[in-house]
């Protein structure tokens, strides 16, 4: 360095001093390297909403389809076209952007995600209306989520628990068997017919 002079150095010793070795440079990354003072990029911009189908193999009513009737089942139903009728779904109903559901009786599902249009009343554990979603109807839910830009015309009633009317298969079978088993009062006595015609 020019500021400090080494008193032990002799002229001509410059050749004997080790010279710095240039290392190959790494290619530049696409963005600036994060440092401790800047927040991560994800915190600066909210992440786009996740796809609305939580099931790996949802049933899909495609964008060119128009379906009318009763849809009853389990799992996930994704409506990208038009559905008119009743839906009873032990699972998730997704009305995609561009999709329409016209419920002729109160729609029942555990979770309903609306990115398109829903006309009709509904019962659900969770209703989520995303920014492109439009709902006309009365709503009974446990949890209600709306995004900026979402539209709802109707009444919302929040409950601690919403009875969707789904029965577990085992409990339904047990109640059927219980209905068929006569009680002591109904057991016919020996020598009489069950209809009571010969008394």
DSSP string, 108-135: EEEEEEESSEEES-EEEEEEEE-TT-EE
- Distance CA(199)–CA(190), nearest Å, equals 12
Predicted TM-score of the model (pTM):
0.58
Q: 109 is written with which tokens?
A: 């599902």
The pLDDT score that the predictor gives to residue 180 is 55
Q: How far is CA 129 from the centre of its chain?
A: 11
Percentage, residues of the chain above pLDDT 70? 55
The pLDDT score that the predictor gives to residue 21 is 58
Using alpha carbons, select from 133, 75, 124 the residue that is nearest to residue 101: 133
Classify residue 16 by burial, with Cβ atoms within 10 Å: 0-12, 13-18, 19+.
exposed
Contact 65/78 with Cβ under 8 angstroms? no
Give the pLDDT confidence of 48-86 residue by residue, as tens digits.
444 454 556 889 999 999 999 999 999 999 999 999 999
The pLDDT score that the predictor gives to residue 69 is 96
Burial 109-133 (b: 16+ CB within 10 A, else e): bbbbbbbbbbbbbbbbebbbbbebb
Give the pLDDT confidence of 33-46 residue by residue, as tens digits.
444 444 444 444 44
Mean confidence (pLDDT) of the chain: 76
User: Which residue's entry shows tokens 């016209």?
Assistant: 102
- Give the residue, 93 or 35, on which the prediction is more confident: 93
Using alpha carbons, select from 80, 85, 145 the residue that is nearest to residue 112: 145
- Distance CA(46)–CA(73), nearest Å, equals 35
């Amino acid at each position: 360095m020019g500021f400090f002079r080494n008193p032990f150095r002799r002229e001509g010793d410059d050749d004997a001093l080790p010279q710095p070795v240039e290392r190959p440079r790494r290619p530049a990354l696409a963005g600036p390297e994060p440092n401790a003072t800047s927040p991560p990029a994800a915190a600066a911009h909210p992440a786009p909403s996740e796809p609305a189908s939580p099931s790996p193999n949802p049933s899909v009513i495609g964008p060119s389809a128009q379906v009318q009737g009763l849809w009853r089942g389990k799992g996930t139903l994704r409506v990208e076209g038009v559905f008119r009728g009743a839906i009873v779904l032990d699972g998730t109903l997704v009305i995609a952007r561009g999709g329409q559901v016209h419920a002729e009786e109160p729609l029942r599902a555990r979770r309903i995600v609306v990115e398109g249009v829903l006309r009709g009343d509904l019962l659900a554990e969770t209703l989520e209306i995303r920014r492109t979603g439009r709902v006309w109807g009365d709503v009974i839910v446990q949890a209600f989520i709306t995004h900026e830009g979402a539209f709802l015309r109707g009444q919302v009633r929040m409950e601690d628990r919403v009875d969707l009317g789904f029965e577990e298969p085992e409990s339904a079978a047990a109640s059927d068997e219980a209905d068929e088993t006569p009680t002591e009062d109904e057991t016919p006595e020996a020598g009489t017919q069950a209809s009571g015609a010969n008394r």
